[in-house]
Structure 1
Amino acid sequence: MKRKSELGGSIEVICGSMFSGKTEELIRRLRRAEIAKLQVEIFKPKTDTRYDEVAVVSHDLNSIPSTPVDHSSAILLYGSNTQVVGIDEAQFFDDELPDVCVKLANKGVRVIVAGLDMDFTGKPFGPMPALMAIAEEVTKVQAVCVRCGGPALYSYRLIENTNKVLLGEKESYEPRCRVCYHTSE
């Protein structure tokens, strides 16, 4: 019987609302891969400069070095010996990201992707639905609703701005459960 590593790569998706621990979980999985002495490459969109222009940084300020890229196709240009690829803030990437992940997985690479599954309007966000559909494993993490303490799956925007993409933190967004999201002030 062939071992899993001989059968090919895989795609894992970590999704949820803002402040749910997606990046924290991504960093945890990538660090475990590094402990296992696997060749790891990490990518994020060049537009994500909230905490650091290069590193992937969680809200708890845990970080791991990464390579910022303008387009998902650039991910294919790095590291021919890479065994594990981590991708953060996947919702900000172009629609070619699922194809890039499939190409990597078909070459035997373990691909771990983290991103928001919904935008602030509660609609599927960017390439995340397609990634979730093709993944071997999907982990949906939840934040805590700041209104009632229940499980939060929505990112409620606190400021008036209708742009789909608005980089921000606690001054701009808060996690809310379904009821509190739909019964906002």
Structure 2
Amino acid sequence: MFIEPMMPGENIGWIEVICGSMFSGKTEELIRRLRRVQIAQQKVQIFKPAVDVRYHEQHIVSHDENSIPSIPVHHSHQLLLLCGDAQVIGIDEAQFFDEGLPEVCDQLAYRGIRVIVAGLDMDYQGRPFGPMPALLAKAEYITKLHAICVRCGNIASYSYRKTSHDQTILLGEKDIYEPRCRKCFMEGNS
């Protein structure tokens, strides 16, 4: 990876990761942070993977139906071309991006950009998901959000898949997934 050298006095950016299970409020928190950036009149650019068309093709939309315009992209390197003069970059559903996303986020941060990334940290089998482990390792700030287990009411960190599909990426909502605690997740998968 080539990183352009910083000029004396230039700001160095950073990476923030918002992670957790489905229904934990990741997108809601991303939208909240990005709206604060807009209120501060900072230049912001927002991206999402083109594959995520559950709610809207060109908006990031939370389960509470809050939304913010975004640019759908097919490959993480497009972010470098589309970021323009943004001071803040928002990225939703990071787990659906390719493995180059952590390097791209590094490059953006070295350019002096605040990069805010949201995504699932684990897949439906409880395994690290896509580029998220590398993003978590590189991030200066990490926020792990939790849902409430629909079975017992405890803190939920897992996204339990209620169907028998076995592909890693299966877009869906409450019809396919539910948040579960460790115990209820393991019981459902045994």
Report the TM-score range of the alignment, normalised by the length of the smaller protein: over 0.9
Q: Aligned partner of 1:126: which letter?
A: G
State the shift of 1:183 in Å. Answer: 1.1
Matched, 1:66 2:70: yes
State, as a whole percentage, how many aligned pairs show the same letter.
64
Q: Residue type matched to 1:158 in 2?
A: K
Q: Which residue of 2 aligns with 1:87?
A: 91
Give the unaligned 5+ runs of structure 2.
Answer: 1-8
Q: Which one of 144, 149, 154 corresponds to residue 145 of structure 1?
A: 149
Which whole-Å deviations, capped at 9, do the CAs of 1:27-68 have from their partners, x for residues lacking one?
000000000000000000000000001100000000000000
Q: Structure 2 matches for 1:17-166, cutoff 5 A?
A: 17-166=21-170
TM-score by length of 2: 0.93
RMSD over aligned Cα atoms = 1.1
- Alignment match, 1:171: 175
Q: Secondary structure of the residue that 2:90 maps to in structure 1?
A: strand
4+ residue stretches of structure 1 with deviation over 4 A?
Answer: none
3-state secondary structure, aligned to 1:183: helix
Q: CA deviation at 1:78?
A: 1.5
Cα drift, residue 6 of structure 1:
4.8
Classify the secondary structure of the residue corresponding to 2:151: coil
2:83–2:89 CA contact under 8 A, matched in 1: no
Residues 30 and 117 of structure 2 are in contact (CA less than 8 Å); yes or no, is this contact kept in structure 1? yes
**Per-residue deviation, 1:7:** 3.4
